[in-house]
Structure 1
């Protein structure tokens, strides 16, 4: 299966019949509680990641939330 992830084409080997978003993110090394995901131009609510199917050719943008800043 080929996916475009953060602008880069990646080949994903899927051993099950369907590929779901949450396990895909974990397999790619993302911590689900620290990312925002856009799938084919639409931000996906984390509550539905476990049931969101990923299809060949889909485009994912994964943005990692980073804390920090400065105190004055």
Structure 2
């Protein structure tokens, strides 16, 4: 399966007929509580990751949330 992830084409090998977003994120090593995912232009609610199917040619943007601040 070929996907565009954060602007880069990646080939994902999977044996499952249905590949779900949650499984893809785990496969890529993302921590679910620290990311926001956009799939084909739509932000996907984390509650829907377990039912959102990933298809060949999909485009994903995965943004990692980073805490921080400035010291004055």
Q: How does 1:53-72 map to 2 (within 5 A)?
A: 53-72=53-72
Residue 16 of structure 2: SS of its match in structure 1? coil
Question: Structure 2 length normalisation: TM-score?
Answer: 0.96
Distance 2:18 2:12 in 1: 12
Q: Which runs of 5+ in 2 are unaligned?
A: none
Match of 2:25 in 1: 25
Q: Which runs of 5+ in 1 are unaligned?
A: none
**Number of aligned residues:** 72
Measured on the aligned residues, the alpha-carbon RMSD in Å equals 0.7
Question: Structure 1 length normalisation: TM-score?
Answer: 0.96
Match of 2:3 in 1: 3
Deviating above 4 A after TM superposition, structure 1's stretches of 4 or more consecutive aligned residues are none
Distance 2:18 2:2 in 1: 14
